[in-house]
Structure 1
């Protein structure tokens, strides 16, 4: 079997916000299919579709009511088949989201399970008796606020929901649940998908003894905006039984040629170590965490993530991202570190695409797209609605793709978009950057082409130089040198070796002095030894 995924670049599509083909303001599968040539032209290897399954959309598709059908707002199974065929025709692999840890409370299995303690699906979800005072069985908290237990009067029991009340957790300690979930994955493998992005991959199993989670040992001076972060979640997730189940998933995928799995590590403690653990041996092919999806932006931070991963897991494999559908877009998150939006966007693209591991780009990232500032009445995300205004939720990074500002609703839809498209986002539209040599889009295409043509950038090991902030410098393999000025102030650095500039922004090499302007980037082909100081 080939390992096409190792070092590959995947483009994440948020289906509701990519392209609407019907005029109802919601993106859909035929719309995505129509835009696949644009994605193929970027030079990526695969696409990842956020959930498209039948869902009441309490959490925008991450509450699945039917694991083997397409939600009507996105289209039909025939539309999905057409998307797969067109993507493969264009040389693109297709990865789909799998939300296995929980279902929608509208799923028929949960509707049956909640009726009584002795029906055929009674043990398919996590149920527990109340304590003697009627309170929940332990102190577990839900990510979207409040306790993680919801009372069900028909059973006189609580059910577990690590996320919304509408998202009850499956009981993975029941082997029938495992078998059934694997069968739903087989359904999509047989349909031709090339892999899966596994939502919250460390949440599958819970502690059978239902022991309470301890307080986070990193005590805060003031409470977090979300009290979930105040616990150390050693019992509500991250159980050792997760790994054998993941090995079962891997065995399933190994029945099919050239398939892959990338897991989302939803963890704030030891996430890099756990990424390594989950990708070593016959487990996940790749894993990502939120370590590079946060506010930290320094040479030391980026270096630490790479070195820590490959030191702890030399046989594991990471997938790195700077933005996705759950976090503030990095062009806004890191704005203070950029001389301007374009300079920061180009540098972030060059840095991400030069890292050792596989890469995921979020739609609009190639345009330097920024976070949309929405009003409370415009929100759809339960996180924002619950925690406003301290946290505005995830809608700001999910607003529709901006194709052409001269068209109605920027070419996304002929109808009113499900989320508004504001002026700052309209200014960064595809049509306004196509054919412009100095655009962010053009730079991403150049960087993607460079990575694709370089064995070192796809698979080479990283060796970092001991440079002072804000300079980050490392080699990839034996013939590529990458140097970044992670600041809006000009810097100089001494470089020795036989160098040939492959790609740069705001960079000039004179003898052994490399001058890097604000957010400057210099990527060289090198021959022989090289030194940076």
Structure 2
């Protein structure tokens, strides 16, 4: 069946997408793991925020070595999350609330428990023998290339059945599919079509630049010293950062596959959001989102690192904007997701929690050019949770402990009710512990507090809907003294200037022209911002973590 959503075919442009990590959102049956009925029961909370769509992380059948990102059956719901009927109910309820549903689709690899891999590894001449990336060892028995796994160590695993190595860009339980095989591409398009026909509004394609490898199996060269310095603030302990990943991902052959994928999606009016994990992501994102040909929009890890200086933020946004301009492509920004520490902690510079800072980051995210992805709990200002080693679930964290504690700290259960067992997430034992510092930030507490982060988030998102230029307008940055970030959004004759004080002390900025404060913006420090005119000069004073939105006085008079 074809989708009926084509009447608003570009709803995704400038949209706000709310990411749900199913294991940790809401548990409906008391087994300690969130599920699809749990999501359905809490959709009113999401709709009340004022977002446009929900991105649901994987819920497909899986042995859960990487918690659903290792798929063993693309067409079935894992029993821990529910059934296909539960999915249909969730989809229908979301649509009744005016929400789109985007589902995670992991095409670059499967679980080693997938039937395709079981057949592929059984011999070198079976019908699916070349569905995965197999290669002979070097003469000394070592792996075919020096490629590394994102999760540490070699990206090659020896298989005694075939007496060959297979490629795994992530865990060894996640073998990479061979996209050079036409049958693989056709099979994967069939898996996507299955969910299109079920009525989904779009897909978030995981690790979509990992879908092709270099057919010649050339070694990656070492990373430059400058590149190592840039990534060392994030993961200096992971040797993956020590290579230029020229041959194990981001191959040109992927473009044709994405064009075929786009043709399929267009038949159903479905949208494609691609995750691009590349050290030089903007040019890849520009290629992948070339207008009308491939993905609709893409995002990278540019704002998901520990670095968040004014210089870094401006550079990342300008670089992407410049890369997208010639192709007409579109980007999506995120400052938190299920793979990185929560922004409230990651960008705190080690300082105590501060709601003013949380409001600033959310406001910045929703003001940049592009679409925006908000991770569950961001609307509450949740800090990163501390999970002791004995309760750690993430294999990534166990491998690199204690220098890197893994991804569990951003995946702990959503706090719904402060005074209930496990914060109302489950009646059983939760798969990860509820963080004690999250209890006073629970949804029920914040819902009744007009000064809470949740109240602010709702007001901000609804205000953004009244500002069309924030969805589609251009962006241009102005020079400003540290720690101020200053840019203009413009569409036609209308403009809006935004100034952010990233520091914890007041700061004054000489404006380029007289600005009239924009009414109705919910950012609480707005009241503390002062514009003072003297002759031909105009000064703006911003309080700590202050935000100011204004329009040129000349436009106000038009």
Shorter-chain TM band:
over 0.9
Given the alignment of the two structures, is residue 76 of structure 1 paired with residue 83 of structure 2, yes or no?
Answer: yes
Q: Which residue of 2 aligns with 1:406?
A: 419
Match of 1:464 among 471, 477, 495: 477
Matches within 5 A, 1:5-404: 5-218=12-225, 220=228, 224-257=236-269, 259-268=270-279, 270-281=280-291, 282-314=293-325, 315-336=328-349, 340-404=353-417
Cα deviation, 1:261-318, whole Å, max 9, x if unaligned, reads: 11111112x1122212211131111111111011122222222222211212211110
Q: Which residue, 542, 550, 556 being the options, matches 1:516? A: 542
Counterpart-to-counterpart distance in 2, 1:158 and 1:340: 48
Range moving further from structure 2, 100-109 or 493-502: 493-502
Shift of 1:434: 0.9
Q: Secondary structure at the match of 1:100?
A: coil
1:110-146 superposed Cα distances (whole Å, 9 cap, x missing partner):
0111110011111100000111111111111111111
Gaps of 5+ in 1: none
Asked if the contact 2:345/2:353 (under 8 Å) is kept, the reply is no
Measure the CA separation in 2 of the matches of 1:289 and 1:110.
29
Report SS of the residue matched to 1:238: coil
Q: 2: distance between equivalents of 1:86 and 1:415?
A: 26
Task: Note the aligned Cα RMSD (angstroms).
Answer: 1.6
SS of the residue corresponding to residue 10 of structure 1 reads: strand
| Alpha-carbon shift at residue 459 of structure 1 (Å) | 0.8
> What's the counterpart of residue 510 of structure 2?
494
Q: 1:420 to 1:339 in 2, by over 3 A?
A: closer
Asked whether the 8 Å contact 2:344–2:353 carries over to 1, the reply is: no
Aligned residue for 1:335, secondary structure, equals: coil
Partner of 2:429: 416
Task: State whether residues 145 and 226 of structure 1, in contact with CA within 8 Å, keep that contact through their aligned partners in structure 2.
Answer: yes
Q: Relative to structure 1, is the Cα distance of residues 450 and 288 closer, same or farther in structure 2, using a 3 angstrom cutoff?
A: same
| 1-structure distance, mates of 2:552, 2:244 | 46
Higher helix share: 2
* TM-score, normalised via structure 2 length: 0.92
Normalized against structure 1, the TM-score is what? 0.96
Report deviation, 1:509.
2.2
Residues 1:167 and 1:81: Cα distance change in structure 2 (over 3 Å): same
Distance across 1 between alignment mates of 2:501 and 2:509: 9
Shift of 1:356: 0.5
Q: Which runs of 4+ in 1 moved over 6 A?
A: none
Distance 2:332 2:444 in 1: 30
Give, in whole Å, the separation in 2 of the partners of 1:452 and 1:131: 58
Q: CA shift at 1:448, angstroms?
A: 0.6
Shift of 1:242: 0.9
Gaps of 5+ in 2: 1-5, 534-538
SS where residue 528 of structure 1 aligns?
Answer: helix
Provide the C-alpha distance between the structure 1 equivalents of 2:141 and 2:310, rounded to a whole number of angstroms.
51
Q: Give the drift of 1:498.
A: 4.6
Q: Is the Cα contact below 8 Å between 2:286 and 2:324 reproduced in 1?
A: yes
Q: Is the 8 A contact 1:139 1:213 kept in 2?
A: yes
* 1:143-188 per-position Cα deviation (integer Å, ceiling 9, x unaligned): 1111111111111111111111100010000000000000000000
Q: Which residue of 1 aligns with 2:3?
A: none
Q: Contact 1:505–1:522 (CA<8 Å) still a contact in 2?
A: no
- Residue in structure 2 matching 1:482, options 490, 498, 501: 498
**Which has the higher mean CA deviation after the structures are superposed, 193-202 or 219-228?**
219-228
- In the TM superposition, what whole-angstrom CA distance separates every residue of 1:193-233 from its partner, at most 9, and x where no partner exists? 00000100110001111111111123658993111111111
Q: What SS class does the counterpart of residue 473 from structure 1 fall into?
A: strand
Is the Cα–Cα contact under 8 Å of residues 16 and 52 in structure 2 kept in the other structure?
A: yes
**1:339–1:519 contact (8 Å) kept in structure 2:** no
Deviations 1:340-392 (A, max 9, x none): 42011000011101111000000000010010111111111110010000100
Alpha-carbon distance in structure 1 between the residues aligned to 2:470 and 2:510: 23
* Inter-partner Cα distance in structure 1 for 2:184 and 2:258: 14
Deviation at 1:529, TM superposition (A): 5.8
CA contact (8 A) 1:339 1:518 kept: no
- 3-state SS of paired residue (2:497): strand
CA contact (8 A) 1:494 1:514 kept: yes
Structure 2 contact 250–284 (Cα < 8 Å) conserved: no
- Mapped contact 1:372–1:396 kept (Cα < 8 A): yes
In structure 2, distance between residues paired with 1:323 and 1:498: 32
Write out per-residue CA displacement over residues 221-266 of structure 1, whole angstroms, 9 at most, x where no aligned residue. Answer: 8993111111111011111101111111111111112x21111111
> Secondary structure at the residue paired with 1:23?
coil
Secondary structure of the equivalent of 1:450? helix
The answer (yes or no) to whether the contact 1:337–1:486 under 8 Å persists in 2 is no
Cα distance between partner residues in 2 of 1:354 and 1:288 = 16
